[in-house]
Amino acid sequence: MANLVQRKNISSGSAWEPLVGYSRAVRIGNRVEVSGTTAGNGNTVEGIGDVYAQARISLQKISAALQEAGAGLQDVIRTRIYVININQWEAVARAHREIFGSILPACSMLQVSAFIDPRILVEIEASAEIVAINQDNDSSAAPTRNTSSNVL
């Protein structure tokens, strides 16, 4: 008989979740996917007009969802950042770097034309993989560069 991997849906309690049909995060096995996260809370938006503040708030909400899933920011392997104005990329990058500067996940940042709420300036998604690390031989702190000449 095959081992069944359990699925855990994590809700933030947002009114959008049942309306759209999604979860804030989903954990299956050691994998955690966090949905697009903004500074919106119901009918309010924190950090109106401040993309840096909204990015920080979004990242704090992502951290809380990861913790509820049994993961942490150190487990994040990829983030996707969507902004309304790509000219504000540096402020968003600063917020991302403050959280992930030593973790260094893969990351994409894209400009989009609009969000459902026009007060939202940034939305962030995260993917995490929970991996046990040998504390005696932890080489994960520094990124490595493939110097092989046969890499495509």
pLDDT digits (tens, 9 = 90+) for 17-76: 999 999 999 999 999 999 999 999 888 999 999 999 999 999 999 999 999 999 999 999
Query: What are the two backbone dihedrals, phi and then psi, of residue 90, each rounded to the nearest 5 degrees?
Result: -65, -40
The CATH number given to 7-130 is: 3.30.1330.40
Which pair of tokens denotes residue 70?
């049994």
Q: Which helix (H) or strand (E) holds 89?
A: helix 89-100
Tell me the per-residue pLDDT of 99-130, one tens digit each, with 9 for 90 and over.
999 999 999 999 999 999 999 999 999 999 99
Cα dihedral sign, 62-127-134-144: negative
